[in-house]
Amino acid sequence: MSSDIYTKPDLSTKVRYNRKVEEDGEKWQEREVDIYVSSGSISDEQTGFQDGGPHTHRTSLRGAALCLGVLSLLMTAGIIVLSTLYFSVTFENEQLQTRFNNLSINYTLLQDKLSNVSVEFNQLQDELNKLKIKTKGKFCPEGWTRFGCSCYFKSTERKIWFESQYDCLTRGSRLVMINSKEEQEFVTKLNMNEDSWIGLKSNRTSAVWEWVDGSTLTETFWAEGQSRAPNNWYFAACCDRTGKWTQSISFDNQKKNWICEKKISRSS
C-alpha cells in the first residue's frame, strides 16, 4: 500500500473510496482527498503558469486594441492630409489651367490687334506719302522765310523802288504788303536794321496811299512825324531801321534794300 501512495496520481480521475478495507479506512479517505486537493492546486498553478491566466490575456488584448486604434487614427489623419493636399493641388492646377487659357486668349487678341495696327500703319504711311506728294511745292523756296501763309525774301542788294518791284515780279512775288500788327513785327525783324522798300506807294490820280496790288491800307505803322497823306504823286514808302514806315520823295533815284512777299504755292 505504501508503494501505491508514492505512485503518480491520475489527476484526470476522481477519488474513489475503498469501502472493503476497514482498517485505517478513514485515514485513507482523508489522504485521498488531500492528494486530490493538492494535485488540483498543482494542476491549477501549472495551468496558470503556462497560459498566464485570464488577467494577462485581457491585458494583452487591450494593448493590441490600443495599438490598432492608434494606427487607425494615424491612417485616418494621413488619408485626410493626403486628401486635402490632393484637392489643393487639383484646385491650383485648375486655376493655372484657367490662367493659361486666359493668357492664350489674350495672346490671340494681341496678335489680332498687332495685325490691325500693322495694317493701319501701312495705310498711314501711304497717306503720308500722298501728303508729301501733295505738299510738294507748298513750302517756301530756299532763301525765303515763311510767316503765316506767305513767303518773304529780304534782299541784300540796293535798288530804286521800281527796280525792286521788278525784281520781286521776276521771283513770282511783289513788294511786301503789311496788313496786320503781327506781320509788321515779322517784317521789322526781317528788315535787320536796314532801310527797305515795301509795296506801298501813292496813287497818281487820287493822291492816296495804296498797295502794289491796288488794295487800300487796313492798318498803318508810320514813324512819328510822318504825314498820313502823300505830298507828291510820286511818293513811295519804306521801312526804316526801326521798322516804321517813312515817305521817300525821290524814290526814283534812292537805292535801298527791298522785301518781297508771295503766297505759298498751292500747286501740286
pLDDT, tens only, 171-215? 999 999 999 999 999 999 999 888 999 999 888 777 788 999 989
Q: Is the pLDDT at 169 greater than 90, yes or no?
A: yes
Q: Is the pLDDT at 219 greater than 50, yes or no?
A: yes
pLDDT category of residue 166 using cuts at 50, 70 and 90: very high
The model's pTM: 0.50
**Are 85 and 179 part of one and the same domain?**
no
**Are 259 and 240 part of one and the same domain?**
yes
**Are 174 and 254 part of one and the same domain?**
yes
pLDDT at 185: 94
Q: Is the pLDDT at 104 greater than 70, yes or no?
A: yes
Q: Does some domain include residue 61?
A: yes
pLDDT category of residue 229 using cuts at 50, 70 and 90: confident
Q: What does the alpha-carbon distance between residue 161 and residue 260 come to, in Å, rounded to a whole number?
A: 12
**Are 14 and 83 part of one and the same domain?**
no
**Are 157 and 211 part of one and the same domain?**
yes
Count other Cβ atoms within 10 Å, centred on residue 253.
8
Q: Does some domain include residue 213?
A: yes
pLDDT at 17: 46
- Which structural domain, as residue segments, surrounds residue 161? 145-263
**Are 171 and 66 part of one and the same domain?**
no
Q: Does some domain include residue 222?
A: yes
**Are 61 and 149 part of one and the same domain?**
no
pLDDT at 198: 95
pLDDT category of residue 152 using cuts at 50, 70 and 90: very high
Residue 210 main-chain phi, psi, to 5 deg? -150, 160
Q: Does some domain include residue 131?
A: no
Q: What does the alpha-carbon distance between residue 225 and residue 231 come to, in Å, rounded to a whole number?
A: 14
Q: What does the alpha-carbon distance between residue 204 and residue 201 come to, in Å, rounded to a whole number?
A: 9
Residue 194 carries which side chain, given as an amino acid letter? Answer: E
Q: Does some domain include residue 129?
A: no
pLDDT category of residue 55 using cuts at 50, 70 and 90: low
Q: What average pLDDT is seen over the chain?
A: 79
What are the cell numbers at 19?
A: 469501502
